A and B are shown apart, each in its own frame.
Chain A
Amino acid sequence: MPASADRYLEVQRSEEFAELRHRLRRFIFPTTVAFILWYALYVLLSAYARDFMAIKLIGNINVALLLGVLQFVSTFLIAWYYARYAAKELDPRADAILHSVDETPAATSTDGSAQ
C-alpha cells in the first residue's frame, strides 16, 4: 500500500532523494545522448560516407563491418557499466529511502516491500 500523498512530497524534497535522483539522471541522460549520437553517426556514415565505410582493414573486413560490430560492443559495455553503476551508486541509496518512507507518522501503511 502506498504511503500518504504528503509523505511522498516530503520524501521527494529530502536531500537523500535529491542525491539519488541526481546520481540517476547524471548517468542515464548523458549516456542516452551519447549512445544515440554514436548510433546516429554510424547511420549517417552508412548513408553519406560510403567510400570511407568501404575501406578494407583486414582481408575482406571493412570499416562498415568494424563500426557495426563496435555498435554491438558499445551496447554490451554500456549495459554492463550501467549494471555496475546502479548496484554501487543507486541501489543502496534507493533501499535506504525505501525503508525510510514508512518510518514517520505521516505514513499510512507499513507495507513498503515489493511483492
Chain B
Amino acid sequence: MTVPAFLAAEASTSTSRTLTITLFLVFVAITLGITVWASRQTKTATDFYAGGRQFSGFQNGMAIGGDYMSAASFLGIAGLIALYGYDGFLYSIGFLVAWLVALLLVAEFLRNSGRYTMADVLAFRMRQRPVRTAASVSTIVVSVFYLIAQMVGAGALVSLLLGIKPDTTFLGMDAGTAKVATIILVGALMIVYVTVGGMKGTTYVQIVKAFMLMGGALIMTLMVLAHYKFNLSALLGDAAAQSGKGEKFLEPGGRYGVQVEGNALQTFYNKMDLLSLGLALVLGTAGLPHILTRFYTVPTSRIARKSVLWAIGIIGTFYLFTLALGFGAAALVGGANIQAQDKAGNTAAPQLAQQLGLDYLGGETGGAIMLAVIAAVAFATILAVVAGLTLASSSSLAHDFYASVIKRGKASEREEVGVARISALIIGAIAIALSIFAQNLNVAFLVALAFAVAASANLPAILYSLFWKRFNTAGALWSIYGGLISAVVLVFFSPVVSGTATAMFPNQDWQFFPLSNPGIISIPLGFFFGWLGTVVSKETDPKKYAELEVRSLTGHGAH
C-alpha cells in the first residue's frame, strides 16, 4: 500500500498513534477494572450467564446497542456510504427494521420461558439432548463465523489506524507481525472479560462502549452538519459532487443490485442478491444467539420489552449518524483519499474525524486528537462485540451441550460455570487460531453468512416453538440442521468462495450458485424443513405446549 494521504504528515502520525494507544489502554484499564469488580459479584450460574438478571431496561438497551453496533456497522456502513453512497444506507435500514421482529415475536416470550440460552426455549417441549445439541451447533457456528470476521477485521484495522505500513515497523514489528499481535491481544482480552467477568462484566463493557460510540458519532455528526450549516441538501450535493459519480451517488444501485449493461442475466442475479441480503438482514437479528441471551439479563419480560425499545431508539439514532458520517466523509475527505487508505472504505470514519479535527480543532494536533479518539472508539467496539460473541457460544457449550447432553442435566451449577469458563478459553483460542490463518482471506462474507444462518436455522425454530402447537423434536432438528446446511452449502458454492477475482479462493472455481447471499433460498428452506419434519413425525405434547404458552405469555414460573 502506498503512503496514505491522511497519515503522510509524520508528526501527526506519531502524535495520534501515541494518543490512540493511550486512549485504548485507558479503555482497557477501565473495562478490566469493571470486569474484576463484576467477578466479585458473580457467584451463581445466573450471575455468570445472565448478569444476575438485575440490569435495567436502559442499561440492557445500551448493552444490546453495544453488542449490535459492531465495527461492521460503525466503520463498515460509514465506509459503504462514503464510497457507494445511498446503498450503504440501505444496509442500515435492514439492520434496524430487524428489531421489530425481535420486539414483537421473540424478546418477551424468550425471556419468560428460557433461562440462559436460545436452546432453553427450543428444547422446552422437545427431547432435550438432540435439540440442545442442534441449537448448540448452530449457536457456535453463527458466533464463531461472526467472531472470526470481527477479529480479522480488527487486525487489519489496527495496523491501518496505527499507520503501520508493509515497509515500516512498529515497536520492532512489521505490519504482518503487528496484525497477528493485534489478533492475539484482542482475543486474549475478550477471554479475560468473559472468563473473569461473565455476563455482568461483559454487559458493563458493552454499556461503556455504547456510550463512547454514541458520543463519538454524535460529535462528528454535529461537526459535519455544522460545516454545512445544517443544510442536509447541501451536504448531499457536495458528497455527490466529490464522489465523481454525480447524482447516481444519491440513488440506489451503486453497490447492490448493480445494473450490468448488456447482461440481463447478471443484472437479474445482482437484483436477486439485493433482495436476498435484505431478507437475511431483517430476519437474521432475532436469531443471533449473542443478542438473544441479552434478554435474560433483565428481571422481567416487561423490562426485556423496554430494553428492546431503548435499543431501537439507540441503534436507529446511530444509523442516522452514520448517514451524516458517510456522506460527510465522501464530501470532506473524498472517495479517492479513502480508497488510498483502505480499498473497502473501512477507514472513512477515522479519516473524517481527522479532517474535522484539522479544520475545526486547531490544525494538525486537533486532527491527531480526533483521529485517536475515533480509532480508540473503533478498538473498543471490536473488543466489546467479540466478548459478547464468545460469551454466547461458551454459555451454549456449557449449559446446552455439557450440562444437558453429556451430563444429562446432572451437573452442579458450579461445575457448569466452570465448564463455561473453560469453554470461553477454548473458543477464544480457536477463534484466535482461525483468525490468524484467515487474516489474508476475504472474510467479509462471514458476517452475511452468520446473519443468513441465524435467519435460516434459528429463527424458524424459535417462531415455530413459540407459536405452533404441533411443532416437535423432528421439526426442530430439521429446521435447525436444514437451515444451517442449506445456508452453508449455498455459500460454499457461491461467488464469494470461489470463481471470482474477489473470492476467498480466487484461483479455484467450483461456483454454481449465482448469489453471494443465500438467504432468499435458505430462509424459506429452513421454514419448509421445520414444517416437513414436524408433519412426518407423530410426536406431539399438548401438555408441554400448554405450559410453554402459558408461561411465555404470562411470565408464570419465569426464572
Q: How many residues of B contact A (CB 8 A)?
A: 64
B247 at interface, CB cutoff 8 A: yes
Name A27-79 residues within 8 Å CB distance of B.
Answer: 27-28, 31-32, 35-36, 39-40, 42-44, 46-48, 50, 53-54, 58-62, 64-65, 68, 71-72, 75-76, 78-79
Whether the Cβ atoms of A72 and B96 lie closer than 8 Å is: yes
What separation, in Å, do the CA atoms of A21 and B550 have in the docked complex? Answer: 9
Which residue in A24, A31, A80 is a CB contact (below 8 Å) of B553?
Answer: A24
Interface string of B104-117 (1 = CB under 8 A from A): 11000000100000
- Decide yes or no: A79 and B299 within 8 Å by CB, A8-B543, A46-B90, A68-B89 being known contacts: no
Whether the Cβ atoms of A91 and B302 lie closer than 8 Å is: yes
- Decide yes or no: A58 and B233 within 8 Å by CB, A72-B320, A98-B556 being known contacts: yes
What separation, in Å, do the CA atoms of A35 and B557 have in the docked complex? Answer: 32
A83 at interface, CB cutoff 8 A: yes
Query: For A21, what are the chain B residues with a Cβ–Cβ distance below 8 Å?
Result: 549, 553
What separation, in Å, do the CA atoms of A1 and B53 have in the docked complex? Answer: 17
Whether the Cβ atoms of A1 and B252 lie closer than 8 Å is: no
B93 at interface, CB cutoff 8 A: yes
Whether the Cβ atoms of B555 and A98 lie closer than 8 Å is: yes
B278 at interface, CB cutoff 8 A: yes
Whether the Cβ atoms of B104 and A75 lie closer than 8 Å is: no
What separation, in Å, do the CA atoms of A2 and B232 have in the docked complex? Answer: 56
B316 at interface, CB cutoff 8 A: yes
Beta-carbon nearest neighbor of B469 in chain A: A12
Which residue in B104, B278, B302 is a CB contact (below 8 Å) of A31?
Answer: B104
Q: What total count of A-B pairs have CB within 8 Å?
A: 170
Stretch from B162-170, B305-313, B387-395 that touches the partner? B305-313
Shortest beta-carbon distance, A25 to chain B, in Å? 8
Interface string of A78-108 (1 = CB under 8 A from B): 1110110010000100110110011000000
Beta-carbon nearest neighbor of A32 in chain B: B104
Query: For B305, what are the chain A residues with a Cβ–Cβ distance below 8 Å?
Result: 83, 86
Shortest beta-carbon distance, B257 to chain A, in Å? 4
Beta-carbon nearest neighbor of A9 in chain B: B546
Shortest beta-carbon distance, B243 to chain A, in Å? 12
Beta-carbon nearest neighbor of A24 in chain B: B553
What separation, in Å, do the CA atoms of A12 and B253 have in the docked complex? Answer: 50
B488 at interface, CB cutoff 8 A: no
Whether the Cβ atoms of B558 and A114 lie closer than 8 Å is: yes
What separation, in Å, do the CA atoms of A35 and B96 have in the docked complex? Answer: 12
Which residue in A5, A53, A76, A97 is a CB contact (below 8 Å) of B554?
Answer: A97
Beta-carbon nearest neighbor of A87 in chain B: B302
Interface string of B489-500 (1 = CB under 8 A from A): 000000000000
Whether the Cβ atoms of A54 and B247 lie closer than 8 Å is: yes
Q: A27-B104, A75-B96 provided; 13 other pairs, C-beta below 8 A? A: A3-B556, A12-B546, A17-B553, A28-B105, A32-B105, A43-B274, A54-B247, A65-B86, A71-B96, A83-B305, A98-B556, A112-B556, A114-B300
Jot down 23 A-B pairs with beta carbons below 8 A, ordered by A.
A2-B556, A5-B544, A8-B551, A21-B549, A31-B100, A35-B97, A59-B232, A60-B234, A60-B240, A64-B251, A65-B236, A65-B250, A72-B316, A76-B312, A76-B313, A79-B99, A79-B308, A80-B309, A91-B302, A95-B554, A97-B550, A97-B556, A115-B559
Q: Which 8 residue pairs spanning A and B have beta carbons closest together?
A: A59-B233, A46-B252, A60-B236, A12-B546, A2-B557, A43-B278, A114-B558, A8-B547
